Structure 1
């Protein structure tokens, strides 16, 4: 658990830093690109993400999982990285050729408009740069060097924001933002390989793989990972991919704005998911299912508690926050955002649960569970978007997100672990039921948006936090590993405060 906590803190810190940077960068880009340009850019990002599933082919997850297993095989780490680097380079190069041909023959401009010929070439280059960067990050994380890999994620976001905003200001618009992404991935990927060279014998990455290297085992994991990741990413992007051609770039821009805010809530669950895949892989090989269930059930309870607080706060302040953050024109994004929140909670809880199943390597139940949710999401989006636009997309996506929790709860038990063993659902419901009227009521009682954004979050946090401890949703001693990492003398003050509250 100590290793998981150490990795989580590194990843969580990076996620928070990324969140702050995204919080600053996004409204600037929205204002520079406008709703239409931001809609096109959002569509291209979704297209890139879906394409990257095939390009990445599970190499990021595979690199972390198999390096963490630390098998008794000479230069195991180097050969795993080398294998995935070769596979990734071939697939990314192939994708670049395909996107270049689509652009060369004018198919992209014929379907979407003239600028998309250039956009598609840049998407192909972006896929290559992203693959280059992800392999180095996967290698560092597989070696439990999250304290080195995750600051690079923050640097990447900073470099992207700086270069994209500068290029957009120079009049390059969407082209400039895409070039900014390519630049950031390339620089960070190069730094990642330099850091890797300090921990491994880098020359073995480029050597021929030994005959007894288990290529088929790694390839089998990758094949199933592609299916799983494709289904997951369809949940993220099918709504944007449908909204843009069905309702236009303006509605795509408004809806993407709502989606970005809703997905802010995933920064902690994403950190848990990232660290649990390689950490739980090691646990499955050294400990039994009871220990794994104890670990994931406690983390699930923490995850539900924290994410629910964020949802209560964001839901109560959405009407105040969105127009200030994006501008008055984006008031239309408030309703889709509110509709997305219930499903966002379900997906947030699911993410770490799913990572434990991936860590064991039992992917078929996860694929079935995710496939069922993806099918529901796709069908509902196809039915609701043509008639209700982005509001229909919000309802459809929220239901799809929420169904993930149901299906993956069933899948987890079939794999052999129980993520809900110690959930304390009744206590969580009491905590939320008592604190919600206070948080929502306070936000409604304050007439000025800025004052509401300043007052409600700290008051809501205190009320909710006290109730969490008083109802014993979380026991004080469960927070000891976290308090121990707080610098002195603050840790003593935090310990006394928690004891008084509890």
Structure 2
């Protein structure tokens, strides 16, 4: 992997790590304080809001980032872009909020979702306005290349929400308390973000009128394909929640959302890769370096598969332990939907970097078509399975929809001009997961002490998996050290030194060295398997000592 791209990934991950930690700490608190039913209502409202905001803000946020980055030679170009999109943001925010209020006043919300949820849409109407300017401010800063400000604002948004929402919900404010947290956080981020924008370009530009040759029509209609892609992706995220709310009680929705939250942890690294690859691969596409793109895509697919599949195996093995500890005993019904969601979450994780590389090409009709087919499958299956099987049906439908994303985006990628499966070694990666999965599940079942299981199973399972991945050829012997070499010193320098020694040894001894190494790895693999099985049998003894 190119070190510059890797450094970009790590810089994005640093912000995402903080957001992930805050989310991981706050979500179970929300679930416990709201209860399964209240958490279900809250999850449903946020799903409806996320889909609604696509039409309010997607064209604004993507447009201001693109046209500011162009930095044209036209006089006062940046001022006119900032002012134009600010005015458009005001208009769409006011119209969006007014439509929500009118829907409540004329009974449309009550008719669609029930009287008990209607009151919350007043808060959502206010959130339309604050969220619009939160996103506008962040994307404007990104258009200026000021990611050092835009990325911390994401952390501020999450922290601001937690600081207000958790105490209010704990005090008994319920779903309204959680929505108040979003209102406060988005207003705070919008204020800080706009102040930073104002330091770069005075917001008085809102009142200036550009000349007649200013590309208003192009800017207004820009990114219609991107909006379609965002809408289809968001439907995959949220349509199951919206449909489940119509056929089942809010408690089922809350437990299903809890299962989704844990399954979505598998997407952490793939989402970071997607964020970086859209920009990083654009230059490769402009240079027609298709072979390099295929190499990058297939290697990324392989690494994503290896990392995500062992996370999925570990989560499945520890689901009976992790879910009650994380969310509380009330969330035990979420365990089965979680297990059903994991295969699809793995497929979706593999699809995200492939989609990002396709977006870098700029030809969106194939990615949109691939996502559209997956979204259609997801909607049809949810409509068929939810009325009869509830959240279990939603989990199966969503898992199939998620998993189909990888299949369809591989087809899309080949149409665009690269092959994400060229060196993905999918079969070998799944074989490594299968070989290590037995001891991992056995060890998890043998250790009845929940905390001890959470402490022991992940590291032992990871070592087992890496050993088998190297043994079956899913990883080359030098690759683990190559990946560790990307880390800061002293880990990076020591890993680089080991990697170089292995490379020189293989080059000097040729096939003899490789054959000896394969025999060594076979012995190591058997040793790891025996160790895992031994730990499985020793688990009850360790439990007894504790």
With normalisation by structure 1, the TM-score equals: 0.91
Cα distance in 1, alignment partners of residues 481 and 193 from structure 2: 33
Cα distance in 2, alignment partners of residues 305 and 245 from structure 1: 37
Within-5 A mapping of 1:297-376: 297-376=298-377
Cα distance in 1, alignment partners of residues 145 and 288 from structure 2: 19
Cα distance in 2, alignment partners of residues 117 and 350 from structure 1: 37
State the Cα distance separating 1:80 from its structure 2 match: 4.4
Cα distance in 2, alignment partners of residues 85 and 352 from structure 1: 32
Query: 2:533 is matched with which residue?
Result: none
Between structure 1 and structure 2, the one with the greater Rg is 2
Query: Gaps (5+ residues) in structure 2?
Result: 503-516, 522-546
Cα distance in 2, alignment partners of residues 231 and 369 from structure 1: 10
Moved more, 398-407 or 143-152: 143-152
Q: Deviations over 1:293-349 (max 9, x none)?
A: 333333222222221121111111111111111111211100100000111111111
Secondary structure at the residue paired with 2:209? coil
Secondary structure at the residue paired with 2:315? helix
Cα 1:312–1:212 change in 2 (3 A) is farther
Kept in 2, the 8 Å contact 1:14–1:154? The answer is: yes
Query: 1:277 is matched with which residue?
Result: 278
Cα distance in 2, alignment partners of residues 221 and 412 from structure 1: 23
Query: 1:184 is matched with which residue?
Result: 185
Kept in 2, the 8 Å contact 1:340–1:397? The answer is: yes
Cα distance in 2, alignment partners of residues 187 and 474 from structure 1: 48
- 1:21 matched to 2:22? The reply is yes
Kept in 1, the 8 Å contact 2:236–2:401? The answer is: yes
Kept in 2, the 8 Å contact 1:81–1:135? The answer is: no
Cα 1:360–1:221 change in 2 (3 A) is farther
Query: 1:473 is matched with which residue?
Result: 475
Moved more, 224-233 or 41-50: 224-233
Cα distance in 2, alignment partners of residues 372 and 441 from structure 1: 39
State the Cα distance separating 1:284 from its structure 2 match: 3.0
Cα 1:11–1:77 change in 2 (3 A) is farther
Moved more, 181-190 or 102-111: 102-111
Cα 1:3–1:143 change in 2 (3 A) is farther
Equivalenced residue count is 501
Cα distance in 2, alignment partners of residues 141 and 469 from structure 1: 40
Cα distance in 1, alignment partners of residues 389 and 240 from structure 2: 13
Query: 2:463 is matched with which residue?
Result: 462
Query: 1:96 is matched with which residue?
Result: 97
Kept in 1, the 8 Å contact 2:3–2:486? The answer is: no
Within-5 A mapping of 1:51-450: 51-68=52-69, 79-196=80-197, 207-450=208-451
Cα 1:335–1:209 change in 2 (3 A) is farther
Query: 2:13 is matched with which residue?
Result: 12
State the Cα distance separating 1:192 from its structure 2 match: 2.8
Q: Deviations over 1:208-263 (max 9, x none)?
A: 34544444444444222222211111111111111111112111111111111111
Cα distance in 1, alignment partners of residues 197 and 467 from structure 2: 44
State the Cα distance separating 1:13 from its structure 2 match: 1.7
State the Cα distance separating 1:178 from its structure 2 match: 0.4
Q: Deviations over 1:452-501 (max 9, x none)?
A: 11111111222223444553526646865863551x33433444676789
Cα distance in 1, alignment partners of residues 307 and 223 from structure 2: 32
Secondary structure at the residue paired with 2:123? helix
Cα distance in 1, alignment partners of residues 132 and 7 from structure 2: 26
State the Cα distance separating 1:395 from its structure 2 match: 0.4
Cα 1:477–1:314 change in 2 (3 A) is closer
Kept in 1, the 8 Å contact 2:482–2:495? The answer is: no
Cα 1:490–1:359 change in 2 (3 A) is closer
Kept in 1, the 8 Å contact 2:348–2:405? The answer is: yes
Cα distance in 2, alignment partners of residues 286 and 71 from structure 1: 22
Cα distance in 2, alignment partners of residues 366 and 406 from structure 1: 12
Secondary structure at the residue paired with 2:422? coil
Cα distance in 1, alignment partners of residues 481 and 216 from structure 2: 42
Q: Deviations over 1:393-439 (max 9, x none)?
A: 10000001111111111112212232223212243233222222222
Cα distance in 1, alignment partners of residues 490 and 390 from structure 2: 54
Moved more, 59-68 or 385-394: 59-68
Cα 1:321–1:108 change in 2 (3 A) is same
State the Cα distance separating 1:367 from its structure 2 match: 1.7
Give the superposed CA RMSD: 2.7
State the Cα distance separating 1:3 from its structure 2 match: 4.8
Secondary structure at the residue paired with 1:303? helix
Secondary structure at the residue paired with 1:57? helix
Kept in 2, the 8 Å contact 1:68–1:279? The answer is: no
With normalisation by structure 2, the TM-score equals: 0.84
Kept in 1, the 8 Å contact 2:169–2:178? The answer is: yes
Cα 1:480–1:357 change in 2 (3 A) is same
Q: Deviations over 1:10-31 (max 9, x none)?
A: 2212222222111111111111
Cα distance in 2, alignment partners of residues 102 and 28 from structure 1: 32
Secondary structure at the residue paired with 1:324? helix
Kept in 1, the 8 Å contact 2:56–2:93? The answer is: yes
Cα distance in 1, alignment partners of residues 343 and 161 from structure 2: 31
Cα 1:24–1:208 change in 2 (3 A) is same
Kept in 2, the 8 Å contact 1:75–1:204? The answer is: no
Relative contact order: is structure 1 or structure 2 higher (C-alpha 8 Å, sep ≥ 6)?
1
Secondary structure at the residue paired with 1:171? coil
Kept in 2, the 8 Å contact 1:263–1:344? The answer is: yes
Moved more, 118-127 or 328-337: 118-127
State the Cα distance separating 1:359 from its structure 2 match: 2.8
Cα distance in 1, alignment partners of residues 368 and 159 from structure 2: 34
Cα distance in 1, alignment partners of residues 445 and 271 from structure 2: 31
Query: Gaps (5+ residues) in structure 1?
Result: none
Cα distance in 1, alignment partners of residues 165 and 248 from structure 2: 27
